Structure 1
Amino acid sequence: MKQEALGMIETRGLVPAIEAGDAGVKAANVKLLGYELVKGGLVMVAFTGEVAAVKASVEAGSAAAARVGQVISEHVIPRPEADLRMVFKGTTGKPENDPPSNSPDDNPPGVDDSSSDADKNVKSDEPSEYKEPVGEEMDLTSMTVGDLRKLARKTPGVTIHGREISRANKEKLIKEILRARGRKD
């Protein structure tokens, strides 16, 4: 008679969890149920299979994960209740609150999604505040705030000085630098 077990390893970070899953599956004849992203950077990997195989798998997975990161906990539940197994069925590691994508490939063949064009027209009445950075502005947006502050202090024509530069946010610094460079040219 085959006795099923549920094995779990909880790690801090995804890399140790992947390592635990890989080593656990290679160590014994178990099925990797998946992983679950938990708050605070914790990731839980779950295995199922025969009790002895799951125990060996969890031990090997924990040891492998400990070599590359931090193992928070490990546990094997021999002969779990059938309802508990339903909790882990279909665990994929994707957050449940992800919005569904509306790409054209998602529609079944023969279904016309013409309502998306009408929605776009309705939204166009609202003023758009976001502008795509171009050229020199794109280089500035990739800089850190500290680097932008240093650049603002060295750029002639910047109207903010001293503590104003220290207190300015990234957007204000970029605006000032671009305005000063525009005046200089």
Structure 2
Amino acid sequence: MQALGLIETNGLIAAIESSDVMLKTAEVDLVSKEFVGGGLVTVSVVGDVGAVKTAVDAGASAVEQLGDNFLVSKHVIARPDSEIEPLLDDPKAKKIPEEIVEEDSVESKEETPKEKPIGFKPEELEPKRIAELRKIVKTKTNLNISDADLQKMSKKQIITEILNSDKEG
């Protein structure tokens, strides 16, 4: 950990706003969100020293725009000692990267039709969105359909073309 940034807010909305701005502003990772009590919420981020400083300043500024009473404090610790890492271990925070990994796996499933060998079944194609079907058509080398014609085709027509190209194989 090169730097640790902390923002403490009154209320969850301000904490979410600060987290959103921090993650969009700089290359930092969200480490934890902790409900301190009495409506206080602390959000922690880690990353390069400059990135964390930038993110915390931007997050604090965004919270101040919500109102005067939402920002309680902000702080950046450059190069914190490694012994404070156990203080940041939050089981909820560890779920964040797992969710991102799951999103990536969903994207890779969408790309699967491009790599799939010949032989689609109608029941595989029906639930797909028309954009996905167009991508499949573009990967078929034995189909000579222009982009303009492809945009004009209905979902049924596109499925028929894909199935016919599989038969011709």
TM-score (norm 2): 0.51
More helix by share: 2
Using the alignment, how far apart are the partners of 2:42 and 2:19 within structure 1?
A: 10
Choose 1 or 2 for highest CA Rg.
1
**Hey, which bits of structure 1, 4+ residues long, moved more than 6 A?**
none
Partner of 1:116: none
Contact 1:13 1:41 in 2 (8 A): yes
TM-score (norm 1): 0.47
Using the alignment, how far apart are the partners of 1:43 and 1:54 within structure 2?
A: 18
Using the alignment, how far apart are the partners of 1:11 and 1:32 within structure 2?
A: 16
Q: Could you say what secondary structure the match of 2:38 adopts?
A: helix
Partner of 1:47: 45
Deviations 1:55-79 (A, max 9, x none): 0000001111122241000000000
Partner of 1:37: 35
Aligned-residue CA RMSD (Å): 1.5
Deviations 1:134-167 (A, max 9, x none): xxxxxxxxxxxxxxxxxxxxxxxxxxxxxxxxxx
Using the alignment, how far apart are the partners of 1:54 and 1:18 within structure 2?
A: 17
Q: What letter matches 1:18 in structure 2?
A: I
Following superposition, the deviation at residue 91 of structure 1 comes to 5.5
Q: What letter matches 1:25 in structure 2?
A: L
Partner of 1:114: none
Using the alignment, how far apart are the partners of 1:72 and 1:54 within structure 2?
A: 18
- Calculate percent identity across the aligned residue pairs: 43
Unaligned runs of 5+ in 1: 94-185
Q: Which structure carries more relative contact order (alpha carbon 8 Å, separation 6+)?
A: 2
Within a 5 Å distance, the mapping from 1:11-160 to structure 2 comes to 11-69=9-67, 70-90=70-90, 92=92
Using the alignment, how far apart are the partners of 1:92 and 1:45 within structure 2?
A: 12
* 1:60–1:90 CA distance, 2 compared to 1 (3 A): same
Using the alignment, how far apart are the partners of 1:49 and 1:22 within structure 2?
A: 15
Following superposition, the deviation at residue 85 of structure 1 comes to 1.7
Q: How many residues are aligned here? A: 91
Q: Could you say what secondary structure the match of 1:92 adopts?
A: helix
* 1:72–1:28 CA distance, 2 compared to 1 (3 A): same
Following superposition, the deviation at residue 48 of structure 1 comes to 0.2
